[in-house]
Amino acid sequence: MSNQAVIQVDSIVKKYKDVTAVNGVSFTVNRGEVFSFVGPNGAGKTTTVEILVCLRDLTAGKAKVLGFDVSSRKGKQQIRKRVGVLPQDFNTFDLLTVKENINYYKRMYGNVGRDTDDLIKLVNLEHKSKTLYKNLSGGLKKRVAIAITLANDPEIIFLDEPTTGLDPKARRDVWKLIEGLRDQGKTIFLTTHYMDEAQVLSDRVVIISYGKIIADGTPSELILKHGGKTTLIVEDGKKEAYEVLKTKFPKARIENGDVLVPINNKSDLPNAVMALNGNKTKFGELIVRRPNLEDVFLNLTGKKIVDGELN
């Protein structure tokens, strides 16, 4: 069962009049993995999700979900039954309680799968089950939404930007839920514009920009390939530390008073520290900074994503 492709996307294209939202995208998602589809606003993430859950038709290309073709009538029926989707701006009935809201969706799906109390427990909302939806915080609303997404006991769970706009604590709560679902063998298709989130959660990451895939791999593969070097930061080292280091480390540079030294091999770090020590150089702290997915995106595109926007 492991490594079995549950989503196969082959050169899909989606055009809306004069906008090509998705422009020849191909990837596969394996059973049981957390797969992250990462990119800035407007990259084509939601459109791709909508195609895979059969809410939108393709302009060109081919996509299969759980072996079923998203373009066939029979495929659509099967896929809709077997996946769960949390849309980007999902909201549910303000004046129903948590439990009543989940019950509503349970009944709509014919009461298959886990019962409502189980779902409430799964998202840790037992203490709020009688609270009106409108009186919940953003983070708790998101947990209700995730419970609703699980109402039909789906094999694949699509979560479209489930943490956008949440505070850091609520984001981490959602991360824990995602990890819990993965541990239960579910396949998670996550979209996000938060690189740290993709790095922490994902087994595999695909980065999309302007409707095209620009990278595909595990977080560590992508960081190794595109992230750049580990850097020693000599805080507040200034010219003095720079002078000490520059002969052995010609690529060292000063940035805002800090000296940045690219680390190429194991001996570089102790050598740099010894050189600073031997010369009694003054500096603040020594920080070793490893590259991350943000660096990958920056190196590939020349840009950062700030609040979802290219910057």
Give Cβ neighbours of residue 40 (< 8 Å, ≥ 6 apart): 193, 209, 305, 308, 309, 310
Choose the binding region for ligand ADP from 43-51, 90-98, 129-137, 234-242 (rule: CB under 6 A).
43-51
Question: Which member of 46, 187, 202, 209 binds Mg ion (CB under 5 A)?
Answer: 46
241 within 8 A of 310, measured Cβ to Cβ? no
List the helix and strand counts (H, then E) for the chain: 11, 16
Q: Does 36 bind Mg ion (CB under 5 A)?
A: no
Question: Which member of 29, 43, 244, 298 binds ligand ADP (CB under 6 A)?
Answer: 43
d(CA 245, CA 268): 11
Q: How many CB atoms lie within 10 A of CB 47?
A: 20
**Residue 226, contacted partner among ligand ADP, Mg ion, none, CB below 5-8 A by kind:** none
**Residue 39, contacted partner among Mg ion, ligand ADP, none, CB below 5-8 A by kind:** ligand ADP
What string marks each residue from 8 to 37 as x (binds ligand ADP by CB under 6 A) or -? --------x--x-x----------------
Torsions phi, psi of 55, nearest 5? -95, -20
DSSP 97: B
What string marks each residue from 132 to 161 as x (binds ligand ADP by CB under 6 A) or -? ------------------------------
**Residue 87, contacted partner among Mg ion, ligand ADP, none, CB below 5-8 A by kind:** none
**103: amino acid identity, one letter:** N
Q: Which residues of 155-191 are buried (b: 16+ CB within 10 A; e: fewer)?
A: bbbbbbbbbbebeeebbebbbebbeebbeeebbbbbb
Helix, strand, or coil (residue 92)? coil
Nearer to Mg ion by C-beta: 45 or 186? 45
Question: Which member of 32, 39, 227, 237 binds ligand ADP (CB under 6 A)?
Answer: 39
Nearer to Mg ion by C-beta: 87 or 262? 87
Residues making contact with Mg ion (CB under 5 A): 45-46, 88
